[in-house]
Structure 1
Amino acid sequence: KLDVRVIPKAEIVGTISQAERCRRQQLVEENKHCLTILKRPKLVPGMSPRDVVNAEQEAYLAWRRELARVEHIDGIVVTPYEKNLDIWRQLWQVVERSDVLVQVVDARQPLLFVSESLTKYVEEVDPRKRTLVLLNKADLLTDQQRAAWAKYLESTGARGLFFSALDHAQNLKNDISSPSPSSSPPTYPSKTPTDPEQPAADRQEVNHVPTGKGDCPTDGQKSVEDMCQDFDDQLEDDDDSESSHCTLRDEGSDQTDASEPDDEDEPVDDRPRIPHHLLSVNELVDILSTSGSPKPGAAYLTVGFVGYPNVGKSSTLNALCGAKRVSVSATPGRTKHFQTIFLQPDLQLCDCPGMVMPSFAHTREDLVVAGILPIDEMRDCIPPIRVVCEQIPREVLSAVYGVNIPRPAEYEDQNRPPTPYEFLGAYARMRGFMTARGNPHYDRAARIVLKDYSKASELYGFVLESSFLLKKAFDTTA
């Protein structure tokens, strides 16, 4: 009878308090070194195919046992990670093929999607490989937030890039609906005079391979310059510290760039700079093509894209190609197999299927809100909507959806966030979503709101207040 605890209303619906979130975040910091991705076992020359399969299965079982031990720690929630060994084999192939590996993450919650274990694994495979972090949907962040995230990533040794595939996808959709001579897919100048000779085994996996110089005409440079003319004119008025040609270059790439004509009068900075402004397609291509060097004997650079489902990997590739080359969908897990695309004769892009890597999360509703778990398969809509109501102010929700959310009662805190029932009830009545008994259809309204959130329809930048490194980055930037 003495073991009695009064349960708050928030915990009844599965939402934890702010103090409990801070306690769990401290446990995450103490045990984050235990979460690793499934690494491919080292192969010994002379091993038969059966021995290789047995070694991979043994490594897989040992990895599952270690994660099961971490999951039993009270207060720690591990995300539902990928348990299909064949999917992990595809990740291993992408890592081995790529010279530069790009982790595509959601700019609203970068720490939830960035995998430090993957970065270490790439360095173990080949120290010459380079890794980048592409923060997609960065248009939802303010300039101050992007600068703080760039400083935080720089303090951790990562290279951060800010991009918005949604804007370029919308422009591509408009160009397709209204074709014009200037709406052709952008082409990029090639650095090599001849096309690479591709092996027959790789040619079967490539969706598009340039056949000659006609695939990259010099006339395409003029169209690219026309597309970026407005962008360049706007940046000419900015300070020299925010140059539009901030690129990440390695020390070994200076010799290659020395042979190209230099139209800029800026002094060359040996220290790699991390831009915090939104990159255009041309800037991103320039950074990717100069961030690494091809393998010895290879005629082209391979850039691999990995990340969680529904973070925008395929949309980013379509934006870079200037056409729809990879299928995209709002449902996580659209890409089933890795595929390669030649952007230009000396640059190959490799799209990896969405990998749900082991990471820490507060609750299951955080995974639904982040788009990791399918929204249509959720059984309880109240906890995810409560997370959205706590993250987005009442005024923003009312303005975005055009609803009048009921105000708190006189005896309640006037600054409290709206409850899920208040917000969903007002939205369902406004849209006419009613059940057979005349009650608001909360599930139908919640699915629309969560999909809008996943599609970046609401401006929300995630700030992890309990992370002292990120807080220090914000204080330094201010």
Structure 2
Amino acid sequence: MPQGGRKAPFSGKAKKQQIQVKKSRKRNELERSASSGRSMRYGRGMHESEDGESDGSGVKVQKLNLQPGRGRNTNRYVLQFQQESKEEIEARKELARKELKPVPEKDLEVDRDCPFPPELDFPKRPPWDSSMTPEVLDAKEQKYFREYVDNVGKKFSWSELSYFEMNLETWRQLWRVLEMSDIVLFIVDIRFPVYLFPPSLYDFVTNSMKKDMILVLNKIDLAPAPLVLAWKNYFKTLYPSLQVLIFTAFPGYNLRDSNEKEGGLLIRRRRGKMRMAAEGAEQLLQACENIVSGQVDLSSWHKKVAEELNTEYDDDHLIIGQTHETEQIDTTYHDHQRFKDGVLTIGCVGQPNVGKSSLMNAIMGKKVVSVSRTPGHTKHFQTIFLTPTVRLCDCPGLVFPSKVPKPLQVLMGSFPIAQLREPFSSVQFLAERLDLVKLLKIQHPENDDSWSAFDVCDGWAKQRGFLTAKAARLDSYRAANHILRMALDGKVCLCLYPPNFSSEKETWLSHPEIEDIKRIQAKSSAGGASAVEEEIFSSDDDESVSRGQDSQSQDAGSESSGSEDGAKNKFAYLPEDECA
């Protein structure tokens, strides 16, 4: 008999009690880590708690993705947004139960009224110098941020404002990156660029800091070439001193069947081997050369790009670059000197899920920054030397204050879908601008003719077999989350248009620069229009949707050809996790 004797019987009731004890212990650890990571109070009455409740009259703060653990740094950079009231959530649910009202194509054009009103600025670092002690600097920044949040609450109603970052530690990362950088590289998603680019940041960088700024329109494989060109012209016209580049980590040669559609959904199946998108690195190199004007030796960058044309990397050779994480409050005084020690510093800034980390990996030619679909995945700024004379600085994704509709923010990826308390209003926003019933090929759960957002979610749950665990009812909440994730990944692709795009479509379609856009997308005129272009520019929608229905049967052949092409790649791998 074993040394402790025979084991005592362990009933199901005892097992249940054991699980409850473990859950209670984990919940207590979360509460301790949240309280220990609380270094300030964000305004009058803004006494934060894990569930967002406050004991004052100020705005409630909601912390997302809290991690168990002890110590101040565990949840130091956790996402913090203002929490909506139960009344606001219930009101949006009721609207989502009403019949969908399709939005005409003209209404896909963004309003000329900027979603970033001039009086809604972003937090800036208060003046400081090397004579300040860490305690004085910390107190000064906390006081400034409290006053900033108070002023925002006085000027605007919290219900009309979008979600925006309310964690001072994250803003400190942005301040540090802006101070260190010679050139600020701002990345936006081509599907919603005007809602992701704050003019106040552009004015601050170019006018106050006297630094150059480059705008990267990322993920252009998700939009038709004429729309990409229209957005590029829009920003160049509105901001003459802004250099505008276009980029995608997933051009046609990194995708299988990129010009086909399956059941109306855009196919974005990646090849087994993916090469670096050299077009984006070449654009950035050329733009930096124009800005530097020979003050920094960029010959090593040229050499690196030339070498990568004949170099193939394996997963075993992926190298993590030099990374700096601030374990304590950063109080080092930084007196910026342009191109100090002959090194060009490029700061990569942008809101969550615009593809900053994927862009840096593509520029480096190997995986140096981990990527994820979860907003707030990059928690701290990281400095990575591209060459001995070029340094990249990656800033965490920051949600800037704006008046962007909250359902649209979810589709943009600024707010984690898994943390949504009410996803149906976002599905409604999407369903009123795209024909989800046709794209998803769903049937009405009650055989009715009118559709609501809840009906779309129930229809998709029925088609996918999403049922609740106990009652086996249609799991509409899971179906809504699944639809939103497909929209975030680009399988259900919603693109917004610049002003007057509908009346000028033919002009952009025949523009001489259209071939350059298709070259970066890895599309040629001989290959025809992409699936998205067909949907936007075709007069027969039914034909364009049904055109890709037989594409699934061609997957096996295309996959084998994809691997054959992958053997010819001369560039580095991109990470397996797609940063949407």
Q: Which residue of 2 aligns with 1:164?
A: 248
Question: What is the correspondence of 1:339-378 to structure 2 with a 5 Å cutoff?
Answer: 339-362=382-405, 364-378=406-420
Q: Contact 1:148/1:473 (CA < 8 Å) preserved in 2?
A: no
| 1:447 alignment partner in structure 2 | 481
Which aligned pairs between 1:397-412 and structure 2 lie closer than 5 A? 397-398=439-440, 403-406=441-444
CA distance in 2: counterparts of 1:244 and 1:46, whole angstroms: 42
TM-score (norm 1): 0.64
For the 8 Å contact 1:433–1:440, the answer to whether it is kept is yes
1:335 equivalenced with 2:378 (yes/no): yes
* Alignment check: 8 A CA contact 1:99 1:302 kept: yes
Kindly tell me: are residues 26 and 112 of structure 1, through their superposed partners in 2, closer, same or farther at Cα, counting changes over 3 Å? Answer: closer
Q: Tell me, yes or no, if structure 1 residue 134 matches structure 2 residue 216.
A: yes
Give the Cα separation in 1 of the matches to 2:368 and 2:98: 41
Structure 2 unpaired stretches of 5+: 1-90, 256-268, 300-307, 310-335, 510-580
AA aligned to 1:326 is V
2:247 maps to amino acid: F
Given residue 306 of structure 1, which amino acid in structure 2 is its aligned partner?
A: V
Q: Runs of 5+ in structure 1 lacking a partner?
A: 1-6, 187-226, 232-242, 261-280, 283-292, 413-417
> Structure 2 residue aligned with 1:380, among 405, 418, 422?
422
- Say whether 1:92 aligns with 2:134: no
Structure 2 vs 1, CA of residues 101 and 13 (structure 1 numbering), >3 Å: closer, same or farther?
Answer: farther
**Superposition pairs for residues 192-341 of structure 1, below 5 Å?**
247-248=286-287, 253-254=292-293, 295-341=338-384
**Aligned-residue identity in percent:** 27
Q: What is the RMSD of the two structures over their aligned residues, measured on CA atoms?
A: 4.4
The answer as to 2:457 corresponding to 1:424 is yes
- Higher mean Cα deviation, 29-38 or 318-327? 29-38
Q: Distance in 2 between matches of 1:8 and 1:339?
A: 39
- Relative to structure 1, the CA distance from residue 42 to residue 98 in structure 2 (aligned partners, 3 Å threshold; closer, same or farther) is same
- 8 Å CA contact 1:166, 1:315 repeated in 2: no
Residues 445, 458 of structure 2: 8 Å contact kept = no
Letter in 2 for 1:295: R
How far is 1:244 from its partner?
A: 8.8
> What CA deviation, in whole Å up to 9, does each residue of 1:341-389 have, x standing for no partner?
1112221111101111101122x32222221111111122321111121
Q: What CA distance in whole angstroms lies between the structure 2 residues aligned with 1:329 and 1:27? A: 33
CA contact under 8 A between 1:71 and 1:78: conserved in structure 2?
A: yes
Aligned residues of 2:97 and 2:453 also touching (Cα < 8 A): no
Residue in 1 that maps onto 2:16? none
**Is this contact kept in 1: 2:187–2:349, CA < 8 A?**
yes
Quote the Cα distance in structure 2 between the aligned partners of 1:257 and 1:326: 25
What is the CA-CA distance between 1:148 and the residue it aligns to? 0.9
Does the aligned pair in 2 maintain the 1:78–1:358 contact within 8 Å? yes
Structure 1 residue matching 2:432: 3-state secondary structure: helix
Equivalent residue, structure 1, for 2:226: 144
1:152–1:473 Cα contact (<8 Å) kept: no
Shift, 1:460, TM fit: 2.5
Distance 1:170 1:337, change over 3 A: farther
Change (3 A) 1:471 1:32: farther
Are residues 1:11 and 2:95 paired? Answer: yes
Number of residue pairs matched?
A: 366
1:439 Cα deviation after fit: 3.0
Tell me if structure 2 keeps the 8 A contact 1:294–1:300: no
What is the match of residue 195 of structure 2? 112
Task: For residue 126 of structure 1, report the CA deviation from its aligned partner.
Answer: 2.8
The question of whether the paired residues in 2 share the 8 Å contact of 1:95 and 1:304 is answered with yes
Q: Write the letter of the residue equivalent to 1:365.
A: P
Q: How far apart in 1 are the matches of 2:148 and 2:502?
A: 33
- One-letter amino acid matched to 1:149: W
Q: Match of 1:135, as an amino acid? A: L
Q: Residues 16, 35 of structure 1: CA spacing in aligned structure 2 closer, same or farther, 3 A cutoff? A: farther
Determine which of 147, 168, 181 is the counterpart of 1:62.
147
Secondary structure of the residue that 1:350 maps to in structure 2? strand
With over 3 angstroms needed to count, the CA separation of the structure-2 counterparts of 1:120 and 1:244, relative to structure 1, is closer
CA offsets 1:288-341 (integer angstroms, 9 cap, x no match): xxxxx9825422211111111122111111122222211111111111111111
C-alpha deviation, 1:446, in angstroms: 1.6
Distance in structure 1 (CA, Å) of the matches to 2:138 and 2:388: 35
Q: 1:350/1:430 Cα in 2 relative to 1: closer, same or farther (>3 Å)?
A: same
d(CA) in 2 for partners of 1:368, 1:33? 24
Q: SS of the residue aligned with 1:461? A: coil
